[in-house]
Amino acid sequence: MSESEVRVRVAPSPTGDPHVGTAYQALFNYAFAKRGGGKFILRIEDTDRVRSTKTSEEAILESLRWLGLHWDEGPDIGGPHGPYRQSERTEIYREHTEQLLKAGDAYRCFCTKERLDEMRVRQGPNAGYDRRCRSMALSESQRRADAGEPFVVRMKVPLEGVCLMRDLLRGEIQKDWASVDDQIILKSDGYPTYHLANVVDDHLMGINHVIRGEEWINSVPKHLKLYEDFGWQPPVFCHLPLLRNNDKTKSKLSKRKNPTSINYYRRAGFLPEALLNFLGMMGWLMPNGEEKFTLEEMCANLELEKISLGGPVFDVAKLRWLNGRYIREDYTPDTLCDQLEAWALNREKMRQIIPLVQPRLQTLTDWSYLTAAFFADEVPFEPQDLVMKGQTPEQLLGILQMTIWKLEQLRDFSASALDALFRSLAEAFDLKLREFTAPFFVALSGRRAWTPLFDSMEILGSDIVRMRLKLAIDALGGISGKQRKNLEKQYVALFGRRP
Ligand code: GLU
């Protein structure tokens, strides 16, 4: 790799649906790399062993491919600096931790959970670690580790002075070292935390520009300290502004207010080039002011310094408008026909739907009303049709919300897994399965009778299902903050885990 070659990366954690924020960061990294003839790398940050899943990793890769953001090195195609999946690099992190321990830049911490809890009660929940183990001699710490006592490794952050950092968009930022905690870098399970793995990998993979979300800006002092301890040259940092909901307070983009999964937009009939174009407009403008531009045009014109920090709003209405422009301006009847075939009428999808519909068809035209819900984004329904006899809207709101939470945690969205889930939910709410599922027919298809529920849900996919359930909640008047808290408590009581 040549000294001057631009090398950038996107480093998603595979802990959920592929997020539009990941696509946003990937796009700016990709365009920046392509502009300078550099390389764009995909790295999977799966050090959270509980929350990371293979399904999520595959979905992230697939959605970036769909968008056309092809990477030059990554876990699926390899490359000269692999492996590109952090769970396969644990030995590298262990060696680097060892190096810091030997140099006195990090220390083992043997404090138990009880002691840390007690410390927090004494110092308040926001106080950092009180550094009790920081002064322990290395020989003693080695002896206790050899004896099998569990420990974590923490970095030694300076106790005073000021950390000076530079961000490409914000200029120089200062932070008092006294406000920075002795961050854990290696967990007791031997896995690194984000901070260590991220810095070590960025260095070893030759990353010279780190372009990522604003939420990481507060981590920069810790990262700079690690670069210094290892004697490495830090990269240029560029923190992109957070995407915002289109609401009064411009709150941080959240799935409570907007679908945030790339899969949703794909299934809801948005075009990849329109979604990319829309993400490119978040904080950036083409020099000629034109709102509609291609990926190539963005690559040819992007200057990171021109990104504006004024809270870009992810306004789905605007995305819809832009998508319409693409359909009208860029497609001929023939190419649109190809696009529709690929999206809706492809044999694979039709083959899934036909077995559900065939027993219910008298003439071929019955096809259209029976399958309309499979080819829609939102479906119209009458809110009063949702609530079943003997049920209050409050009860139904609770059921819908808790089901959404359950579906978010469901890793296998197959008809049989859904069947098992709904049976257990009906039991938890003390309802017959038919009573429990009735509102779901209405919310998902707009009708009281439909094709079999679980097979139909599998075809719709998790993202569309959850979005329609959320619309049903809105149609019933929504859930207040206080109700949500209560529901969270009930959920924990019923299912033994947090939503
Ligand atoms: N794994 C981190 C994330 O998903 C990466 C942050 C970074 O780019 O440094 O947000």
Taking only the tens place, the pLDDT of each residue in 276-306 is 999 999 999 999 999 999 999 999 999 999 9
pLDDT over threshold 90, residue 344: no
pLDDT value, residue 404: 96
Last residue of a domain, one of 224, 240, 256: 240
Say how many Å lie between the CA of residue 11 and the centre of ligand 1: 5
Q: Which residue's CA lies nearest to atom 5 of ligand 1?
A: 11
**Chain-centre distance for alpha carbon 79:** 25
Q: Which CATH number fits the domain that encloses residue 60?
A: 3.40.50.620
Say how many Å lie between the CA of residue 68 and the centre of ligand 1: 21
Q: What percent of the chain has pLDDT over 90?
A: 88
pLDDT value, residue 446: 94
**Two tokens at 233?**
């040259």
Q: Which residue's CA lies nearest to atom 4 of ligand 1?
A: 12
pLDDT value, residue 124: 83
- Alpha-helical (H) ranges within 252-365 are 262-267, 272-280, 295-301, 316-330, 333-343, 347-357
Chain position carrying tokens 């403008």: 285
Query: Strand, helix or coil at 260?
Result: coil
- 132 and 176 in a common domain: yes
Ligand 1 atom closest to the Cα of residue 45 is 1
Q: Which CATH number fits the domain that encloses residue 483?
A: 1.10.10.350
- 64 and 16 in a common domain: yes
pLDDT digits (tens, 9 = 90+) for 126-143: 788 999 999 999 999 999
Q: Which residues have C-beta within 8 Å of that of residue 14, sequence separation ≥ 6?
A: 44, 45, 46, 52, 53, 54, 56, 57, 60
- 113 and 193 in a common domain: yes
Q: Give the DSSP per-residue string, 52-87.
A: --HHHHHHHHHHHHHHT---SBBTTTB-TT---BGG
Query: Strand, helix or coil at 24?
Result: helix
Q: Give a yes or no: residue 440 inside a domain.
A: yes
- 79 and 216 in a common domain: no
Q: Which residues pair with 19 in a beta bridge?
A: 261
- Mean pLDDT of all residues in 325-331: 98
Q: Give a yes or no: residue 325 inside a domain.
A: no
Q: Which residues pair with 235 in a beta bridge?
A: none
Q: What is the pTM of this model?
A: 0.92
pLDDT over threshold 70, residue 471: yes
Q: Mutate which of 9, 13, 86, 226 to test ligand 1's pocket (most atoms within 8 Å of Cβ)?
A: 13
pLDDT digits (tens, 9 = 90+) for 420-463: 999 999 999 999 999 999 999 999 999 988 999 999 999 999 99
Q: Which CATH number fits the domain that encloses residue 137?
A: 3.90.800.10
Q: Mutate which of 167, 194, 239 to test ligand 1's pocket (most atoms within 8 Å of Cβ)?
A: 194
Say how many Å lie between the CA of residue 215 and the centre of ligand 1: 9
- Mean pLDDT of all residues in 20-49: 96
- 99 and 232 in a common domain: yes
Q: Give a yes or no: residue 341 inside a domain.
A: no
Q: Give the DSSP per-residue string, 201-253.
A: HHHHTT--EEEEEGGGGGGHHHHHHHHHHHT----EEEEEPPPB-SSTT-PBP
- 49 and 27 in a common domain: yes
Q: Give a yes or no: residue 329 inside a domain.
A: no
Q: Give a yes or no: residue 311 inside a domain.
A: yes
User: What span, in angstroms and rounded, lies between the C-alpha atoms of 360 and 415?
Assistant: 19
How is residue 19 annotated by DSSP?
Answer: B
pLDDT over threshold 70, residue 112: yes
Q: Give a yes or no: residue 61 inside a domain.
A: yes
Q: Give a yes or no: residue 342 inside a domain.
A: no
Q: Which of 255, 257, 432, 482 is catalytic?
A: 255
Say how many Å lie between the CA of residue 170 and the centre of ligand 1: 19
Chain position carrying tokens 């896995």: 191
pLDDT digits (tens, 9 = 90+) for 143-188: 999 999 999 999 999 999 999 999 999 999 999 999 999 999 999 9
pLDDT value, residue 3: 63
> How many Cα atoms within 13 Å fall on the side-chain side of residue 191?
13
pLDDT value, residue 102: 96
- The CA-atom distances, in angstroms, between 431 and each of 300, 387, 425 are 59, 14, 9
8 Å CB contact between 248 and 231: no
Query: Strand, helix or coil at 152?
Result: strand
- 401 and 358 in a common domain: yes
Concerning whether 222 is annotated as a catalytic residue, the answer is: no
- 199 and 119 in a common domain: yes
Confidence of residue 345 (pLDDT cuts 50, 70, 90): confident
- 372 and 486 in a common domain: yes
- 74 and 114 in a common domain: no
Q: Give a yes or no: residue 324 inside a domain.
A: no
Cβ-count burial of 87 within 10 angstroms (0-12 exposed, 13-18 middle, 19+ buried)? middle
**Chain-centre distance for alpha carbon 220:** 21
8 Å CB contact between 279 and 20: yes
- Interstrand relation of 184-186 and 152-155 (parallel, antiparallel or unpaired): antiparallel
Chain position carrying tokens 């999808």: 349
Q: Mutate which of 19, 214, 216 to test ligand 1's pocket (most atoms within 8 Å of Cβ)?
A: 216
- 300 and 216 in a common domain: no
8 Å CB contact between 83 and 89: yes
Mean pLDDT of the chain: 95
pLDDT over threshold 60, residue 254: yes
Q: What percent of the chain has pLDDT over 70?
A: 99
Last residue of a domain, one of 317, 337, 358: 317
Residue ranges lining ligand 1, Cβ < 6 Å: 11-13, 45, 198, 212, 216
- 234 and 107 in a common domain: yes
- Total domains in the chain come to 3
Q: Which residue's CA lies nearest to atom 6 of ligand 1?
A: 11
Domain around 272? 7-87+243-317
